[in-house]
Amino acid sequence: MKLELKRFKETEKSTLGKLFIDGVFECYTLENPYLDNQNNISCIPTGYYHWKIRNEPQSKYPYPHIHITNVVDRSWILIHIGNYPKDTLGCILPGTSYGEDAVWNSKEAFEKVMSKVSNDGTIIITNEF
């Protein structure tokens, strides 16, 4: 299964994107701005990564979520629920719509994405700005 994240806007506080599953638009995304791939405050570099479903009830996110792996110098890059840059911690937040430095209805968008993904796959992240 192939995910594509096409980033379309970056501000001082965030990066907005569109997430596609097998070529079909699914939701908008919110990440931190790019700050040299620093832990917890930067989005990850553009590139080609692997992902898998992670389900650890004892973790900060006790529901199944997507774990993006093989990110150089980074770990625990997730797709999880959240609305604002303070919620990202370097991860990717889904939303049904977006505003300035925010995505909306994150839980709804997250559940839609999770209902369509399988156990693992690839993600390609590109910048369109």
Range of the domain at 118: 2-127
Q: What percent of the chain has pLDDT above 90?
A: 90
What stretch of H or E contains 23?
none
Q: What is the pLDDT of residues 43-66, one digit of tens each?
A: 999 999 999 999 887 777 788 999
Q: What is the pTM of this model?
A: 0.96
Report the DSSP beta bridge partners of residue 104.
Answer: 97
Give first-to-last CA distance, the chain, whole Å. 26
pLDDT of 107 reads 97
- What CATH number does residue 25 fall under? 2.40.440
The count of domains in the chain is 1
pLDDT at 50: 98
What pLDDT sits at residue 60? 79
pLDDT of 86: 96
For residue 100, give every residue at least 6 positions away whose Cβ sits within 8 Å of its Cβ, in sequence order, or none. Answer: 11
Confidence of residue 68 (pLDDT cuts 50, 70, 90): very high
pLDDT of residue 59: 77
Tokens 């690839």 correspond to: 122
b (16+ CB within 10 A) / e for 78-103? bbbbbbebeebbbbbbbbbebeebbb
